[in-house]
Amino acid sequence: MINPTLGRRALFGAATGAAATLAWSPAASASPAPAGPFELTTRNPLVEQRADPCLTRPVNGMYYLTGSVPEYDRVVVRGAPTIDGLATTRERTVWRRPAAGRMAGYIWAPELCRIDDRWYIYFAAGDSDDPFRIRTYVLEQRAADPRADGWVLRGQMSTAWDTFTLDSTSFEHNGKRYFLWAQKEPGIDTNSNLYLAEMASPLALATAPVRISVPTLDWEIQGFKVNEGPAVLVRNGRVFITYSASATDARYCMGLLTADARSNLLDPASWSKSPQPVFTTNEQTKQYGPGHNSFTVAEDGKTDVLVYHARDYRDITGDPLFDPNRHTRVQKLYWHDDGTPSFGVPVGKGGPAVRFSPYDAPRAYVRHSDYVLRVDPDVRELADSQFRFVPGFLEPGRTALQSVNFPDRYVVVDGTTLRIDPYTESDAYGHASGFVRVPGLADHRAVSLRLSADPAAYVGHDGSRLTVVRPHGRGDQERATFWLS
């Protein structure tokens, strides 16, 4: 019997029930939010030239990361007690392909799982005489630390067909362990589809494969007809599977499958596919081809983290598969009020992205609409509500607020209106975009933003838009105080 220990693609906690859609007004808001959020690492990318990243949840106080190396010749693992520490820790090669014969071709997308107090790595490998004869193989390790010596090759994972197979992962749900992977099925004119089966052991399937997704939508068949790189997330009474589609250039993107957590996961009818991709190339942030993701949780034990790879440029010379600069990246994963994941956009280089919620309406968020700042509940376009604190452009001790999805724009004050305007080299812009960040006027766990040019004035809200307030009482202080999330 396989112990239902959480595996590689970070199966998240038990279902908690979807939150109700919020009918919001400041006067009817919920109780104040807890203390400020855990801030993820400011490094982006986290690790350069590591595609197909697999970042585990903490195991015995350690995070472990593996992924494809540009040479496609080995399996590597690095470990650190923090996500940020993975950027600088030394990496160890735990397995290297043979000089010739079987598995001596391309080595792709290792997946690290902890099952029954042992480590397993599912990886794809070709042969020396045909590097694209890709099949899935398994390594096993008894040591507590997956960087240790002792990895043993256990052989090939057998499925229904001896065909192109890759991107395999394992997860547990309702006392059963499942195997999830991408494969080319004979008779179907695609490069790869997604399949699911129950496992008899970490090395073998117990049931026949069930096809749960075929690339048919326009955004799934750009360059190649691909569904691959699945990752599992169980939350809010549902099982979510993210996956990647299309060619590995800027057209690469992520889709989403959803099933009721109480349903039979091996029934294809249990799964529904989102009609549009959930995570795509973004020209404003200069992030191209995001995909092949995994999930983990931050050091606070509750902040969900999206892990993925992307490039910093669109144009590629030659086959994109051999361009080395698909870097490992991390960013916070948010949730809509209806219990579905909110991915936003792949953020560019810089510090943590944050959201602002009014102190007296913690379920609403500051967002920009037509470049004007307002306050709304359940913002569907996540990136419209994400900002970064950066150094101010004029006068010491000032901070500016950079828009995440329009990084050339910063929050400015124009009379009593706040907008995000393109940066200009002028004293007027420096004053209008400069703020003094102070502990929240209504609660020191939150923040308030004092205007640079007027020490008596603060950023506040009037229920629907951001404005300028001069606090004279408790109500004004609450309107000028914001939670970060």
Give the residue extent of every domain in the chain.
Answer: 26-342, 356-484
- Better pLDDT: 262 or 30: 262
* pLDDT score of 80 more than 50: yes
Q: Which of 52, 172, 185, 323 is flagged as catalytic? A: 52
Q: What mean pLDDT comes out for the span 160-185?
A: 98
Calpha distance 247→263 (Å, rounded):
32
* pLDDT score of 2 more than 70: no
The reply to whether 356-484 shares the fold of 26-342 is no
Percent of the chain topping pLDDT 90: 89
- Better pLDDT: 40 or 134: 134
Total-model pTM? 0.90
Name which of 29-33, 39-43, 429-433 the model is least confident about. 29-33
pLDDT for residue 5? 34
What is the amino acid identity at position 188? I
Task: Examine the residue annotation and report whether 52 is marked as an active-site residue of this protein.
Answer: yes
The CATH code that applies to domain 356-484 is 2.80.10.50
Mean pLDDT of the chain: 92
pLDDT for residue 32? 44
* pLDDT score of 3 more than 80: no
Cβ proximity of 263 and 15 under 8 Å: no
Q: Which residue reads 């919020």 in tokens?
A: 22
pLDDT for residue 36? 54
Helix (H) or strand (E) holding 461: strand 458-461
pLDDT for residue 418? 98
CA nearest to 405, candidates 304, 243, 279 = 279
pLDDT for residue 351? 84
Task: Examine the residue annotation and report whether 299 is marked as an active-site residue of this protein.
Answer: no
pLDDT for residue 462? 94
pLDDT tens for each residue of 270-326? 999 999 999 999 999 999 999 999 999 999 999 999 999 999 999 999 999 999 999
87 band by pLDDT with thresholds 50, 70 and 90: very high
Termini Cα distance of the chain? 41
Which CATH architecture describes the domain 26-342? 5 Propeller (2.115)
CB burial of 367-379 (b: ≥16 within 10 Å; e: otherwise) equals: bbeeeebbbbbeb
pLDDT for residue 65? 98
pLDDT for residue 37? 55
What DSSP state is assigned to residue 294? E
- Better pLDDT: 23 or 48: 48
Q: What mean pLDDT comes out for the span 92-103?
A: 98
Q: Which of 127, 228, 384, 421 is flagged as catalytic? A: 228
pLDDT tens for each residue of 227-256? 999 999 999 999 999 999 999 999 999 999
The beta-strand segments (E) located in 222-273 are: 227-235, 238-245, 253-260, 272-273
43 band by pLDDT with thresholds 50, 70 and 90: confident
Name which of 19-28, 182-191, 295-304 the model is least confident about. 19-28
